[in-house]
Amino acid sequence: MSDISYRPGLEGVSAGETAICSIDDGLRYRGYAIEDLAANASFADVAFLLLRGELPSEDDRREFHQELARFAAQTPNEVLEIVHGAPAAAPLMDVIRSGASLLAHWAPDEGGDDDMQTHLRESTRLLAQLPVVLAAAYRGRRGLPRVDADAELPFAENFLTMLHDTKPTERAVQALDVTLILYAEHEFNASTFTARVVCSTLSDVYSSITAAIGALKGPLHGGANERVMALLEEVGSPENAEPWIRNALANKQRIMGFGHRVYKSGDPRADYLAPLCAELAKESGNEHTEEIAGTIERIIRAEKKLPPNLDWPSARIYAYLGLPVELYTPLFVLSRTAGWCAHFMEQRANNRLIRPRSNYVGPGPRTMTSSS
């Protein structure tokens, strides 16, 4: 057996250095606290920060918006036809994963220069085109025609308009934008690390993001927000919340939306969203869901000492905005693409092939015999 140090799940192991995100003093993107960014910046501003290292000036903001709008309008019709016609039973995460891979075939930079400006352009193109892909896939499974991107609209408003073919409320746009900011980046999580591993082989950004989406699909990562709503719907009523959660805990049932590998005392993103969640519940007539959630949270905190993570309030916010559960994790993709692409460029700028070792625990040396 090898004597290489081993920690299951690589917990507590530093796998590299990054200037993109820190979690030791709250959650910060390139030094900015997420509370500050969520209160004062748009998701496009945050994407610019992650990709380019600094917040945009007014000129930068205008040019970046124009670039996103131009790339969105250039989303290949061939890709949109495929995702719009995908089987209705196909999970949207599968469809958007395929869409990310298909976009590479029509990317003018793919297979060309291997420099940072090209990677930045490809990353911005992906960030702009994946929402168009997701909206087309969502409408296709409902038998609805596609809605073109609107060059005049900001990121979140444009997506909601393509999704529903109607102007969203200012409140809905603001709420979605905040969740996109909070989901945009989170250090070396499973999907980001996947993207960096693929990048380290000198593969392209489309392969890295496609692989990252595959990692995010898992219920222990991105899929947790979908299971939060399934849990709340199963409970059904505020009166049933306490007996339900006590029975679930007694049976050692895993409750999604609580606990975090790195945030032992509380997820700052969940803390930030809690007031917004309560406000939207009241505005949308969903106080009963908040009451259910409040009872469950109180008991889990008391019995298991586990605070909620980001998935706990964000799933409810999406429900209060009238978004179907099948969109929850794909929305995570639209947001986290900014962080994934930032990590792709950082990895490529100072690359070393990521190749860890393993501890062998199988049979000792053996020899084949003639009877074998």
pLDDT tens string for the chain (372 positions)?
456 777 777 777 788 899 999 998 889 999 999 999 999 999 999 999 999 999 999 999 999 999 999 999 999 999 999 999 999 999 999 999 999 999 999 988 766 667 899 999 999 999 999 999 999 999 999 999 999 999 899 999 999 999 999 999 999 999 999 999 999 999 999 999 999 999 999 999 999 999 999 999 988 888 888 889 999 999 999 999 999 999 999 999 989 889 877 776 788 999 999 999 999 999 999 999 999 999 999 999 999 999 999 999 999 999 999 999 999 999 999 999 999 999 999 999 999 999 998 889 899 999 998 765
Are residues 97 and 198 both part of a single domain? yes
The reply to whether 4 falls in a domain is no
Give the three-class secondary structure for 21: strand
Residues 191, 51: one domain? Answer: yes
Tell me the C-alpha distance between 253 and 246, whole Å: 10
Same domain, 208 and 260: no
- Determine, yes or no, domain membership for 358: no
Same domain, 311 and 337: no
Owner of token pair 């309008």: 73
Give domain status of residue 369, yes or no. Answer: no
Q: What is the pLDDT of residue 124?
A: 97
List the catalytic residue out of 119, 260, 267, 343: 260
Q: Report pLDDT for 260.
A: 76
Considering the domain architecture, whether residues 207 and 278 belong to the same structural domain is answered as: no
155 and 202 fall within a common domain = yes
Is 366 among the domain residues? Answer: no
CATH of the domain at 315: 1.10.230.10
Domain identity same for 143 and 91: yes
Return the pLDDT at 372: 57
- Whether 64 maps to a domain, the answer reads yes
For residues 215 and 228, give the distance between their C-alpha atoms in angstroms, rounded to a whole number: 19
CATH number of the domain that residue 79 is part of:
1.10.580.10
Identify the bridge partners of residue 32 per DSSP, sorted by sequence position. Answer: 29
Q: Which residue has the tokens 């989303």?
A: 75
Q: How many domains in the chain?
A: 2
pLDDT of residue 110: 64
pLDDT of residue 261: 72
311 and 201 within one domain: no
Percentages helix, strand, coil for the chain (3-state, rounded to 5) are: 60, 5, 35
Is 119 among the catalytic positions? Answer: no
Question: Would residue 47 count as lying in a domain?
Answer: yes
Q: Is 186 labeled as catalytic in the residue annotation?
A: no
Catalytic residue among 65, 119, 311, 343: 311
Query: Is 12 among the domain residues?
Result: no
Residues 46 and 165 reside in one and the same domain: yes
Q: Tokens 């209160």 identify what position?
A: 39
- The residue range of the domain holding 38 is 19-217+327-349
For residue 28, give the 3-state DSSP assignment. Answer: strand
CA diameter of the chain:
78
